[in-house]
A and B are shown apart, each in its own frame.
Chain A
Amino acid sequence: MSENGHDHPHPGTGRTATPSTLRVRAMEKLLVEKGVLTEAEIQDRISYMDSRSPANGAKLVAKAWTDEAFKNRLLEDTKSATFELGMDASGPVEFIVVENTPEVHNLIVCTLCSCYPRAILGRPPDWYKSFEYRSRAVKEPRAVMREFGYEPPENVEVRVHDSTADIRYMVLPMRPEGTRGMGEEGLAELVSRDSLVGVSVPEAPSHFNA
């Protein structure tokens, strides 16, 4: 996070503005000048995004691992389940959580742009928005996961979800072996952003720190 609290440097911070930051800044300025948006609305939106992070997803997953009834609610009505944990995922888009099982491994991509469960997880990582990930995740998901260090067993079905429309997807990974007795907080620490997209899976702490 930069010192001004969001992702782009401001003039006078001594950083070089890229062409895209300059373009965004010019558009921002125009939208404000034309009265389409106010500076306050832009700041609100930035704060909204900054208040969301993969830690929300990790909390949901850890709760689902330890509470079967919550897991079912998370799978059936994701939005309500997030409210139960004090998160606010309200908004026009719907959410679907897809569950990894011994038979199926899920992977999320948006080939057309960068649709991502932002209201829960915040901004997507840069690689998620890259042309390379978007084009390869649908066509050669196993090779992509291998590059992230995860290889699903050959007999497991890899199911890719291309979120092209009004639904945002998040993966519920499987609870790793060797985590019996761990509490929700400890479990949540095992859940990375990558595992919520499906390019990797959580591992038990001994491997985690290896």
Chain B
Amino acid sequence: MGREVSFSDGETVRVLDLDKSGHVRAPRYVRGKTGTVSHLLGKFKNPEDLAYGKYDGPEKELYRVAFRQSDLWQGYEGNLDDTLVIDIYEHWLEGA
């Protein structure tokens, strides 16, 4: 995936629902959901490469993305302000 993406703090993003199986780090419950970038974590080797012995792949920007729990789960029980924050690599994100 050669797509250049970079997001800044506070930007609204959507997690892509990539048809990618195996060792991926974007759990299904956030795919297709919209959240807000809350922190830029820097560049890391892509675990989706590392898990299969590919050590020379490009580094990927890693972001903390915050979601409202009520946007993730139907009938979420709790405060409407309850949130979930998750670390997502750039190639799983698009601007929203």
User: Which A residues are in CB contact (< 8 Å) with B88?
Assistant: 164-165
**Would you give the shortest CB distance from B14 to chain A, in whole angstroms?**
17
Within 8 A of B (CB), among A112-131: 112
Asked whether B78 lies within 8 Å of A142 as measured between CB atoms, the reply is yes
Asked whether B44 lies within 8 Å of A166 as measured between CB atoms, the reply is yes
Which B residue sits closest to A162, measured CB to CB?
B86
Known contacts A138-B84, A156-B79, A159-B82; A165/B47 CB under 8 A:
yes
Asked whether B27 lies within 8 Å of A143 as measured between CB atoms, the reply is no
Asked whether B77 lies within 8 Å of A143 as measured between CB atoms, the reply is yes
**Would you give the shortest CB distance from B24 to chain A, in whole angstroms?**
9
Q: Any chain A CB within 8 A of the CB of B54?
A: no
Bits for A143-165, please: 1 = Cβ < 8 Å to B, else 0: 10000000000111111111111
Q: Any chain A CB within 8 A of the CB of B16?
A: no
Interface of B is mostly: mixed
Asked whether A141 lies within 8 Å of B62 as measured between CB atoms, the reply is no
The distance in angstroms between the C-alpha atoms of A85 and B79, with both chains bound, is 37
Asked whether B44 lies within 8 Å of A158 as measured between CB atoms, the reply is no
Asked whether A165 lies within 8 Å of B87 as measured between CB atoms, the reply is yes
Asked whether B83 lies within 8 Å of A141 as measured between CB atoms, the reply is no
The distance in angstroms between the C-alpha atoms of A73 and B26, with both chains bound, is 30
User: Which A residues are in CB contact (< 8 Å) with B26?
Assistant: 164
User: Which A residues are in CB contact (< 8 Å) with B27?
Assistant: 111-112, 162, 164
User: Which B residues are in CB contact (< 8 Å) with A161?
Assistant: 84-86
Asked whether B87 lies within 8 Å of A158 as measured between CB atoms, the reply is no
**Would you give the shortest CB distance from A191 to chain B, in whole angstroms?**
23
The distance in angstroms between the C-alpha atoms of A16 and B83, with both chains bound, is 44
Asked whether B77 lies within 8 Å of A140 as measured between CB atoms, the reply is yes
**Would you give the shortest CB distance from B78 to chain A, in whole angstroms?**
5
Query: Which B residues form the contact surface with A (CB < 8 A)?
Result: 25-27, 29, 41, 44, 47, 62, 69, 72-73, 76-79, 81-89
Q: List 17 A-B contacts (CB under 8 A).
A: A94-B41, A138-B72, A140-B77, A154-B79, A156-B79, A157-B81, A158-B79, A158-B83, A159-B83, A159-B85, A161-B84, A161-B85, A162-B84, A164-B25, A164-B26, A164-B88, A165-B47
Query: Which A residues form the contact surface with B (CB < 8 A)?
Result: 94, 111-112, 138-143, 154-167
